[in-house]
Amino acid sequence: MPQSRPDTRRSPHAERTPDDRTPDRRTEPVPGPVPRAEGPSRKAPSVRNRSALTHRVRYALRHPGRVLPHLRRLVRDWKLRRATGGDHVAYYRAVMRSDTARNPNAAVGTPSEERWNALGEMQFTYLRSHGLLPSHRLLEIGCGNLRAGRHFIDHLDTGHYYGIDISPDILLAAQRTLTEHALQAKLPHLTLVGDLRLAHLPDHAFDVVHAHSVFSHSPLHVIDECFRHVARVMAPGGFFDFTYNRTDGPEHHVLHEDFYYRPSTLIRLAESRGLSARLMDDWDALPHKQSKIRITVPESS
């Protein structure tokens, strides 16, 4: 578990200054700000309701080759919902078991090795541009098979990475990633969880909490559970970044795997738990379909 740290340690928001340490992967200069797109940086608003029958019919006509795979997912969704009795964590754990058995990279949304590498690198570069230092401690919620985690582990000081996931199958794949990239000596912590209460973690331990493509697969009560508990584990001056599927139309879900939320819904929910929340427009300038919100704890809390 993290030990207490000196008060002189810089927060993720602190201005970065060069040092005279021997350059290596962990101490090379942090890249400049992530490039913004020309014009408004926010992704174009989407008002599509992907669960609507009219949308599904039009989609099937445009992509006939995807109809059969969707029907297979539909049958799996029905079977798993019956088997798990409405418990979303149990349901999604079963989804991950099924997907990981076929392809661990696809189970986290990036079937090709090239895309898996690129998206992991993009998450890492983004957090470095926002001040992630080797001395920081990082908690990754939904660490998967360490698509981004392997970069964080390599960058952070030994023992400073904590990854949690609800899927034992994907955590086994994460162990294989550690071995393949020779990261065992960095002593990362990988833990199976059954909820997002974070009860096994110490108070004020993490400078950065990171959840990529977790809330995009979560109903609102699961997100709220995380919001109710995340402030306790965040270090003073720290932040919590999460991505989500954005819609500016009706909120909806496809099967019970993909959930679409208006940003105002998630911001209000965070504020109801005493947190501050803001949209991260510079992330929206990047080539990724999900949007990002940053959570912080007000100083008065």
Confidence of residue 195 (pLDDT cuts 50, 70, 90): very high
The answer for residues whose C-beta is within 8 angstroms of residue 185's C-beta and 6 or more apart is 158
pLDDT of residue 43: 58
pLDDT of residue 161: 98
CB 222 within 8 A of CB 181: no
Confidence of residue 299 (pLDDT cuts 50, 70, 90): confident
pLDDT of residue 216: 96
Q: How many CA atoms lie within 13 A of 275 on its CB side?
A: 25
Residue 12 has pLDDT above 60, yes or no: no
pLDDT of residue 56: 67
pLDDT of residue 14: 38
The lowest-confidence range among 16-20, 137-141, 148-152, 287-291 is 16-20
* Span 139-166, average pLDDT: 98
CB atoms under 10 Å from CB of 300, counted, come to: 5
* Span 39-54, average pLDDT: 60
* Span 225-242, average pLDDT: 98
CB 99 within 8 A of CB 107: yes
pTM attached to this predicted model: 0.81
Dist. CA 136–CA 248, nearest whole Å: 35
The answer for residues whose C-beta is within 8 angstroms of residue 22's C-beta and 6 or more apart is none
Crossing angle of helices 67-84/88-102, nearest 10°?
Answer: 140
Residue 148 has pLDDT above 70, yes or no: yes
Task: Supply 204's token pair.
Answer: 């004020």
Q: Identify the helix (H) or strand (E) that includes residue 226.
A: helix 220-233
Dist. CA 74–CA 11, nearest whole Å: 45
- DSSP class of residue 245 equals E
Q: Which of 50, 88, 56, 93 is nearest to 225 (CA)?
A: 88
* Span 271-285, average pLDDT: 96
CB 212 within 8 A of CB 182: no
pLDDT of residue 301: 54
- Chain-centre distance for alpha carbon 114: 19
CB atoms under 10 Å from CB of 91, counted, come to: 20
Mean pLDDT of the chain: 85
Residue 103 has pLDDT above 80, yes or no: yes
Crossing angle of helices 88-102/168-180, nearest 10°?
Answer: 40
Mapping DSSP onto H, E and C, the string for 145-213 reads: CCCCHHHHHHHCCCCCEEEEECCHHHHHHHHHHHHHCCCHHHCCEEEECCCCCCCCCCCCCEEEEEECC
In terms of residues, how long is the chain?
Answer: 301
Dist. CA 243–CA 135, nearest whole Å: 24
- DSSP class of residue 45 equals P
pLDDT of residue 210: 98
What per-residue string of b and e applies to 7-41 under the rule 16 or more CB within 10 Å gives b? eeeeebeeeeeeeeeeeeeeeeebeeebeeeeeeb
Residue range 21-37, pLDDT digits in tens:
333 333 333 333 333 33
* Span 120-142, average pLDDT: 98
* Span 192-214, average pLDDT: 98
